[in-house]
Amino acid sequence: MAALISLNAHEARTAAAVFERLFPADASGPGADRIGVLEFLDLALAGAYHEKVEAYRVGLAALDRAARHRHGARFADCDAARQDALLADLEEGTLPDFRVPPQGAFFDMLRAHLQEGLFADPAHGGNRDKSGWRLLGHTGVCLENTAEENLSEEPVTKGGEILSLADVGYSLDGAPREPTEIPGYDPQRGAHPPEGPADVVLVGVGAAGAMTARILSRAGLRVVGLEAGPWRTGRDFVPDELGSAYYCRGGMGPKFLSEVPRWRIKEDESTREANFTLGRMMNGVGGSVIHWGGALRRNHPHHFRYLTHVRESFGEDALPEGHTLVDWPVGYDDLEPYYTQVEYEIGVAGDGEANPFVPRSKPYPMRPVRPFRMGETFRRATEAMGLHPYPTPVAVNSEPYNGYPATGYCAWSGGFGPFNDERWHPALTWVPEALSTGDFDLRTHCRVVRVLTDRDGHASGVEYVDANGEARVQEARTVILCGYTFENVRLLFLSGGGRHPEGLGNNTGQVGKHFMTKMWADVHGYFPDTVFNAHTGPAAQMWSLDDFEAADFDSASHGFIGGATPNVENQRLPIQISREALPSDVRRWGSEYKDHLLRWQHQAAVRLQPDNLSYRANFLDLDPRYRDRSGLGLPVVRVTYDMQENEHRAAEFMETKSEEILREMGAAKVWRGNRFGGVLSSHDQGGCRMGEDPAGSVVDPDLRVHDTPGLYVYGTSVFPTCHGVNPTLTMFALCYRAAERLAGRLSRGEE
């Protein structure tokens, strides 16, 4: 073993003994010691986890103290049975005189770092000689898979070849490409002083901002886009699960990681840092859709009049206490042309005829992505149950499109930037098209901190911090907040003054209200006679069911209002496999845990994407105590949110239905994951509700802020309802409509 950097000899010996008990060597293969977990940890503590060094020192010392008190010896000198008993008590938080760090949190950190040391790329210092991947039977960083491999009934091993980052030409400090020159984009612009007033300033050039920049600049309007992150290109996208994937370190979202919201269940409780059921936000040109799975689904027509639908179908008494459900002020027919327009501009692969619940004016522009073993098993089972499975429409090139290649079915996809540009994101098309007009001034590394208003209360521009940290003001006659839900809400609160003492848009107290997020849950099954080879394709290989979102689904007869979308998807990566939910009879560590992991090829999950109603009890505001770590010290968003009884009843029904589906697929054993595993997801909605009446909403149907002329909010924060449908396409359609209408008014001098 090389000399240690972060741990002294005693600490290293204790940590090594802990890891070996958590993942022991046995007849099935090597344990943590041989795979190199200690070496991984030591390097990580000198780098990405440097702030955790003290927790390790104090925690390992406390564990040794507990071992000496109980057995008269350090932890590493105890026999295996005594070590296991100490770890079991640590996990339960029952070791005496061990208060710092909190025992359960310390155990969870040890377990998480164990998983990373076992299964992260060898470039991180663990997974010695790829022995962790070899133990799993995982092929590593394979960037292409064949149709035959997608459907293979035998384990796909690539002839025993296991590829790492280094084998495919990547490293942790960059990819093997030269920087891409992008016509019209100058990375130095972020430090230039403003060049006079603009027609429009966009706060954020992510998913909504990129589309808006293209529409407005093509209309001849002068548009300035202020983006807090960089422009990432293919050279920045590294197939590094630990560093890149949002369920690990989430390295593509440093700004958001410095300002994670606080969370409390109820108003009278203290807060904790919010956690996640799915995804984390990222900042950069193109936004979080750079690392999405690619699903682009439409809301159903009745979703836009959901309060009316519930009343007419089930009666007023079916609505749960405390709800704030409303109809949308726009309908499906208003958005259908924009749904279609966006699908063709982006390039969506799907089969429109396969989903009978959503009407369409045109077929999808591309055929669906290829079938895969889990999807075919799901399709046959659900058809036998009288349901209507369909291949999920995705922004992935099943054939060449927009000048970009067809996908190679790389499994290192959802959670990563597209290495070969075969999965669409706005920086591929919309932003370059906006720049080509000459009327779009893109400034990266510029963070907006306040929306400005004039003496009449009209939006007049923004205050921002430029790429060199200098305070600037960009004047504009129109300001559009195009950030993610939390940033849009935060900026409205931070921009209050004279006419808006409680924040812009908040004169009727509606900013932050009606917040909705999705309690994603997985239900798992074990199939002893089936190999799924879910490592041979991307998460974009999905199949879904809309039967429980359909207008004729009688949810009230089952005791709740709402529904959910069950789906299955490919993409199983090594760390991801190690963190999936366990059956209740499998311990979270030790030989039982190890044996369970080695059966991953025989496991499948049905993922549930649920509806969530809005409630008075669930809302966003600014935390009065906690500030971000950006150097600006701005308040972070505070989330007050609890999963309500209606949603628990819906989850119980849908989890039971998912178990039925898995058994029909052939599962010999089923188990459920966490129902309320985190308060945030990649589908956070509400907080700037859209509506006709200012008394109950923040923006109007054109997304204008009611009480602040010249200010708009684009994004899912304006959604009145939250359904079990991926919101991105509806967000695009709604904002496309609003941007076109705004372009017309500004061109005519009406605003």
Q: Do you find a cis peptide bond into 179, omega within 30 degrees of 0?
A: no
What are the residues facing 476 on neighbouring strands? 198
CA 337 – CA 331 distance, rounded (Å): 12
Confidence category of residue 733, pLDDT binned at 50, 70, 90: very high
Residue 622 burial (CB < 10 Å; 0-12/13-18/19+)? buried
pLDDT in tens, 419-453: 889 999 999 999 999 999 999 999 999 999 999 99
Q: Angle CA(241)–CA(242)–CA(248) in degrees, nearest 5?
A: 100
User: How far apart are alpha carbons 261 and 263 in whole angstroms?
Assistant: 7
Band the pLDDT of 176: cuts 50, 70, 90.
Answer: very low
User: To which residue do tokens 């290829």 refer?
Assistant: 370
* CB-CB neighbours of 51 under 10 Å: 8
Residue 568: strand pairing partners: 543
Token pair 């659900």 in the structure block, residue: 382
pLDDT band at 610 (very low <50, low <70, confident <90, very high): very high
What gap in Å lies between CA 472 and CA 465, rounded to an integer?
6
Please state the rounded mean pLDDT for residues 708-726: 98
CB atoms within 10 A of CB 96: 10
Rounded average pLDDT over 575-591: 97
User: pLDDT at position 232, please?
Assistant: 85
Q: Find the domain containing 21 and state its range.
A: 9-135
308 in any annotated domain = no
d(CA 24, CA 30): 7
Phi and psi dihedrals of 624, rounded to 5? -75, -10
Residue 351 has pLDDT above 60, yes or no: yes
Domain assignment present for residue 617? The answer is no
Predicted local distance difference test score (pLDDT) of residue 177 = 45
CA–CA separation, 617 and 631 (whole Å): 32
Element (H, E) at 413: none
Query: What DSSP character marks residue 298?
Result: P
End-to-end CA distance of the chain: 69
Dist. CA 145–CA 137, nearest whole Å: 16
DSSP readout, 315-379? -GGGSPTTB-----SS-HHHHHHHHHHHHHHHT-B--GGG-TTS--SS--SBPPPPP-HHHHHHH
Q: What residue type is assigned to position 342 of the chain?
A: V
The mean of the pLDDT values for the chain is 95
| Residue 441 near residue 189, CB atoms below 8 Å | yes
Q: Is the pTM of this model over 0.85?
A: yes
User: Is residue 280 scored above 80 in pLDDT?
Assistant: no
d(CA 452, CA 237): 36
Q: Are 462 and 454 in contact (CB under 8 A)?
A: no
Cβ(701)–Cβ(669) below 8 Å: no
Task: Mark residue 749 as left, alpha or beta (left: phi above 0; alpha: psi -120 to 50; beta: remaining).
Answer: left
φ, ψ at 533 (rounded to 5°): 50, 45
49, part of any domain:
yes
pLDDT of 174: 59
Per DSSP (E only), the strands in 587-641 are 603-610, 619-627, 635-640
- pLDDT (0 to 100) of residue 2: 60
HSE-CB at 749 with a 13 A cutoff on CA atoms is 0
CB 573 within 8 A of CB 245: yes
* Alpha carbon 368 to its chain's center: 23
Burial class (CB in 10 A: 0-12, 13-18, 19+), 341: middle
What is the tens place of the pLDDT at every residue in 544-565? 999 999 999 999 999 999 999 9
More confident position, 197 or 170: 197
* pLDDT tops 60 at residue 102: yes
CA 314 – CA 598 distance, rounded (Å)? 47
Report the pLDDT averaged over residues 240-249.
Answer: 89
For residues 395 and 430, give the distance between their C-alpha atoms in angstroms, rounded to a whole number.
14
Whole-number Å distance between alpha carbons of 229 and 285? 7
Cβ atoms of residues 399 and 427 within 8 Å: no
Residue 636 vs residues 257, 271, 499, 630, 674: alpha-carbon distances, Å: 11, 12, 24, 11, 26
Distance of CA 237 to the CA centre of its chain: 17
Closest CA to 605 of 652, 579, 557, 570: 570
Residue type, 352: G
The answer to whether 528 touches 602, Cβ cutoff 8 Å, is yes
364, 294 contact by CB (below 8 A): no
pLDDT at 313: 98
Query: Over pLDDT 70: what percentage of the chain?
Result: 99
Distance, CA of 601 to CA of 603 (rounded, Å): 6
**What pLDDT does 497 receive?**
86
For residues 541 and 569, is the Cβ–Cβ distance under 8 A?
Answer: yes
Q: What is the pLDDT of residues 671-702, one digit of tens each?
A: 999 998 889 888 999 999 999 999 999 999 99
Of the pLDDT bands very low, low, confident and very high (cuts 50, 70, 90), residue 384 is: very high
| 180: pLDDT strictly greater than 70 | no
What is the phi/psi pair of residue 294, to 5°?
A: 105, 0
Would 564 be classed as within a structural domain? no
Q: What is the pLDDT of residue 719?
A: 98
Cα 340 to Cα 364: distance, rounded to the nearest angstrom: 8
How many structural domains is the chain composed of? 1
Our measurement of the distance from residue 620's CA atom to the centroid of its chain's CA atoms, rounded to an integer in Å, reads 19
Interatomic CA distance for residues 444 and 231, integer angstroms? 7
Q: Is residue 20 part of a domain?
A: yes
Residue-wise pLDDT for 57-75, tens only, equals 999 999 999 999 999 999 9
pLDDT reported for residue 178: 44
Q: Is the pLDDT of residue 634 over 50?
A: yes
User: pLDDT value at position 1?
Assistant: 53
DSSP state of 448: E
**183 lies in a domain?**
no
Label the pairing between strands 459-465 and 471-481: antiparallel
Phi, psi of 569, deg, nearest 5: -150, 155
Block residue for tokens 């199949």: 543
Give the span between the Cα atoms of 727 and 512, in whole angstroms.
19
554 located within any domain: no
Dihedral angle of Cα 630, 635, 637, 638, to the nearest 10 degrees: 130
**Residue 182 class from Cβ within 10 Å (0-12 exposed, 13-18 middle, 19+ buried)?**
middle
Q: Does a structural domain hold residue 88?
A: yes
